[in-house]
Amino acid sequence: MTKPKLIFIVAGLILLIQASIAQKTSFLDHLRIGFGAGANGAHIIDLEPYNVYEDLTGETYKNSYSGLLQNIGNQYFVQAEWFNDYIIIAMKPGTYTYRFSKINEVVFTNETVEQVTPYLLRYLSVPIEVRYNLDFLRFRPYAGINATYSHLLGSHDASNQTFIRPKISAGAVAGTYIDLRYIILDVNVGYHAGVHNIASKPDRFETGSGSTFAQNDILLNDLQVSLSILFSLQKQKHYSNVECFY
């Protein structure tokens, strides 16, 4: 190999490496990474009641479920997001725990007894959010859509057998970023609707409590409120109308 060819190849490799580093740096400059936590309320949608017994009047027993804010769950997650001037793609993998209760009224000859069965479902979830944000300097409000795949984690509670493992939901989110110069806070509110029945039809009787009521076909919807702390790999270019960086 001649010396001019060797110099040409080495120069080409140097340019290729520099271009790769520049592209990587540019990508990293648009990343934010952090963690968050919050609370949620389960909203149960009864698709189809499944009743197996009748009361003294000949009517089948009806199941009902607790309201949206009657049982509070929680979520803990890692948040990573890529952003440009207007669009943000965020992932928030973590554990999401939902609580709700099934309520039955059992009619006896002299009284009516309310029977309450509590449920706690803990999922390993991977939510993905696509957000459109507006830049008002310190505050950057946004709105967007969400899609989540979840897998039900194991539990010693036999009533968990009445649910299938996977859960898919979709919904809308809104919130705002608060720029604190060195960190960014993300205040997020979202409502997520289940897209399929989460009750396991073959196992709907496995309540584990001797209950004579089967699990209805239900959707698990939820309202979530979260607060995240994010660290940006890009130096913030502005902070207020009068402040500047040197």
Total domains, the chain? 1
Q: Is residue 206 part of a domain?
A: yes
User: In this structure, is residue 74 part of a structural domain?
Assistant: yes
H or E element in which residue 125 lies: strand 112-133
Looking at residue 186, its pLDDT comes to 97
The pTM of the full predicted model, rounded to 2 decimals, is: 0.80
CB 100 within 8 A of CB 66: yes
Is 7 inside a domain boundary? no
Tell whether 92 is covered by a domain: yes
Q: Is residue 12 situated within a structural domain? A: no
- From residue 161, alpha-carbon distances to 56, 121, 211 in Å are 30, 11, 14
With respect to residue 108, please indicate whether it lies within any of the assigned structural domains. no
On the 0-12 / 13-18 / 19+ scale of CB atoms within 10 A, 18 is exposed
Check which CATH number belongs to the domain holding 76 and give it. 2.40.160.20
Residue 176 lies in a domain: yes
Q: Is the dihedral of CA 208, 209, 214, 216 positive or negative?
A: negative
The torsion region of residue 175 among left (phi > 0), alpha (psi -120 to 50) and beta comes to left
Q: Work out the angle at residue 206's Cα, subtended by the Cα atoms of residues 47 and 204, and round it to the nearest 5 degrees.
A: 25
| Per-residue pLDDT reduced to its tens digit, 139-177 | 999 999 999 999 999 877 777 888 999 999 999 999 999
- Domain span at 49: 31-55+69-100+120-233
In DSSP notation, 165-221 reads SEEEEEEEEEEEEEE-SS-EEEEEEEEEEE-S--B-GGGTT--SS--S-PPPEEEEE
Which are the contacts of 242, defined by CB distance < 8 A and separation ≥ 6? Answer: none
* 83-132 pLDDT per residue, tens: 888 899 999 999 999 999 888 776 666 776 777 888 999 999 999 999 99
Residue 210 lies in a domain: yes
